[in-house]
Structure 1
Amino acid sequence: MSAVFSVAVRLAGIAAASLLVAPVWQKGFYATALLIACGGLGCAASVIATHRELARRALRLEPSVVSPTDREKLRNRALLDHAPVPLLFRSVDGSVHAANRAARRLFGTEDRLITPPPALLEALNDRRLPSEGRMIRLAASSGGTPRVYALSARHGAGVGGIVDYLALTDVEAGFNAAEAQALRDLLQILSHEIMNSLTPIVSLSVTADELFAELNPGPAHALVQEALTTIRRRAEGLDRFVRGYRDLARLPAPELKPIELGALLRETQRVFEARWGGSITLELCLPAVRVVVRADKGQVEQALLNLLNNAAEACQTQAPPRVQLAAELEEGSATILVRDNGTGVDPALREQIFHPFVSFKENGNGVGLSLARQIALGHGGSLELESPEAGTGWQTVFRLRL
């Protein structure tokens, strides 16, 4: 705007000089007329110079700081980094490289994978496997529980020094959901068939036991009574066992509502202490800030009580027995930890303990941990057994993510 005003002033000066020079000269003021003429010529020269400078700027071509080739590379890298799926490529020398941000984060490298995971190399080198849908289990370089990835590979024919293009799709959540659904279907069928046969057996054993108790005692009365009582007790125990698995198979979808995590854990602590009294010490560790999560309060409380009761049973022979219930914030999501100072879990059994029908406790039915994991999966989370924490005294650590 100031440049336009300056040009207008100069043009006005030129016009004024043109109108005043002749009258002033005719009146004999020659010096003044010359000054006015010089001023007008100066304004004209200034306007011409400004016009030429603007024309030169309009025609001047600014040199590009980034060459077209480099610009294309930067654009391609930005697009790759935007992809949430880890992308890699293998060079002709056999080395594997991270191609985008997701891959660099997963493997903790800026380019070349110094020590590629054996599972990844094995899947790449086994040409018998299909190029799509190969399932491998990988752990992030930062640690944590390994997750299941679907590996997709395409041959690059050596173009640009690349022989394979690789993509890793995290299918852990879908894999767990499919496994949970298959388990529920199996349990539903088994519990239905067993209950159909077991229910009349329980009813008849109770009736026989009660009728025999009313008969006059004879020589074999005590033996028969004991046999009937045993049959009744075992039939009722088996009935409770099957009903537990039927409830697991019928676990409803969670009703997600906002709940305050601290209040939920304090209420769970009260239920735990009502059962265990002062025999087991339960430490409660809450985050410094108020945390609200969307969850099914009843289901999450049931999962936590299953974990806490297992922890209490595992550590009651220790001196002193200790159980901890803690909450943490992990990358914006809530995590609940249940720790105990018991004997720990054999590393070879880390995954088996979550399988239904599997229990390493006396009179255990293998429902508690399996149900807790099903509840976690139903909330879109996970339940994992972590390695013992050295120097803390905690031998067993369960991490529940919501």
Structure 2
Amino acid sequence: MLILRKDANENIEVFQLNKAFVDFFQIPKFYNWKLLKSKITPLVAIIYTTPWKRVKHTISLTVNDQVESFFLKTSVTHTNEFEYLMVTMETIQQLIDKKEKESWYKLMTVMSHEIINTITPISSLAENLDSLLQDEPDEDTLSELSQGLKIIKKRSSHLNNFVTTYRQLAELPLPEKKKINFTETVQQTLDLFAQEFKEKNIQLDFQSEENIQLVADKQQLEQVVINLISNCLYAIKETDKPEITVTINSVNNRIHLTVSDNGIGISQKIKNNIFIPYFTTRKEGSGIGLTLTKSIVEAHDGTIFFKSENGLTMFTLSFQTI
């Protein structure tokens, strides 16, 4: 971290710099800006603008034959007398590690919550049933035992389903890629929902260039479309005039699949969580649909992103053309 301070006469001084900064550049703690500037020339070209402004940049620096990639960010603040430029640098690996730890923390939080919620009532019921068996069971006792065992069976089944969905994620096979007609694949998958669309008066608009070809695992991409349409069906459940739009097009050597609906949308509160395993807002949802979708897309060297605004939620998938 480096903080520069500038007065009204444009005189600059080093206000603060930490040990990590000077250790990487292998320089003394210079608080004279002219001296410091001569030692960090590659950095100066990026941060030294007139006027000072916010910057976000990925850079690679070489110091004593050591190459390191950084995510560099600057911010500017003012007081009555001075203007401050704050420069922070994080190695790319640090950012990756941080994101990875955050992802694991969120996953472990959800998993532990799910497991505890299942095991706690089973443990409590087991104790209660054991106490009932200490005495000679009468008709009421037997009824209570039967009810308790049904609850244990139901909760155990729920936990088994939870473990099964985890295995789906953990054991997702590598895609068996072949040349497929992507337009036809999507159309055939949409046909699976034709009866449901009709019964629920859902307007489907499917638009595609003819015979778009893609090298992919057909079965896995069918699952992706099923997951996205299933999400749409849930989102438009309470919509007066439900609409789902699916488009396929090819732009700049990329094939784009877009699936959108006019349902309840994705709130700002949960936008950062929707691809996290087991995160769901549905009462009966497993919470792996979008996680599985993202895994499949990335296994095909594709990307997925979404936006939800103005009454429209849109997921866009992008793949490399043949």
TM-score interval w.r.t. the shorter chain?
0.5 to 0.7
Corresponding position: 1:316 with 2:237: yes
| 1:298 corresponding residue in structure 2 | 219
Is the CA contact 2:244–2:260 (under 8 Å) kept in the aligned structure 1?
yes
| 1:382 corresponding residue in structure 2 | 303
- One-letter amino acid matched to 1:132: E
- One-letter amino acid matched to 1:399: T
1:290-369 correspondence to structure 2 within 5 Å: 290-369=211-290
> Secondary structure, in 3 states, of the residue corresponding to 1:283?
strand
The Cα shift of 1:131 comes to 7.2
> Secondary structure, in 3 states, of the residue corresponding to 2:68?
coil
1:254-269 correspondence to structure 2 within 5 Å: 254-269=175-190
State the identity %: 24
Aligned residues: 231
CA spacing shift, 1:115–1:287, aligned 2, 3 Å: farther
Higher relative contact order (CA 8 A, sep 6+): 2
Is the CA contact 2:184–2:211 (under 8 Å) kept in the aligned structure 1?
no
The Cα shift of 1:294 comes to 0.7
Corresponding position: 1:253 with 2:170: no
Q: Deviations over 1:24-83 (max 9, x none)?
A: xxxxxxxxxxxxxxxxxxxxxxxxxxxxxxxxxxxxxxxxxxxxxxxxxxxxxxxxxxxx
The Cα shift of 1:278 comes to 2.2
| 2:26 corresponding residue in structure 1 | none
> Secondary structure, in 3 states, of the residue corresponding to 1:398?
strand
Corresponding position: 1:279 with 2:279: no
CA spacing shift, 1:230–1:290, aligned 2, 3 Å: same
User: Which of 297, 302, 317 pairs up with 1:400?
Assistant: 317
Corresponding position: 1:132 with 2:68: yes
Calculate the aligned-residue CA RMSD, in Å. Answer: 4.1
CA distance in 2, matches of 1:278, 1:92: 59
CA distance in 1, matches of 2:72, 2:158: 41
Greater share of helix? 1
Larger radius of gyration: 1
| Unpaired segments ≥5 residues, structure 1 | 1-87, 97-113, 125-129, 138-169, 209-215
| Unpaired segments ≥5 residues, structure 2 | 1-41, 61-65, 74-91, 130-136
Is the CA contact 2:244–2:259 (under 8 Å) kept in the aligned structure 1?
yes
CA spacing shift, 1:325–1:366, aligned 2, 3 Å: same
1:88-237 correspondence to structure 2 within 5 Å: 91=45, 94-95=48-49, 118-120=55-57, 132-135=68-71, 218-237=139-158
CA spacing shift, 1:217–1:257, aligned 2, 3 Å: farther
CA distance in 1, matches of 2:258, 2:151: 41
CA distance in 1, matches of 2:276, 2:308: 19
| 1:371 corresponding residue in structure 2 | 292
The Cα shift of 1:233 comes to 1.0
CA spacing shift, 1:265–1:117, aligned 2, 3 Å: farther
CA distance in 2, matches of 1:248, 1:268: 22
Q: TM-score, normalized by length of structure 1?
A: 0.49
1:12-27 correspondence to structure 2 within 5 Å: none
Q: TM-score, normalized by length of structure 2?
A: 0.60
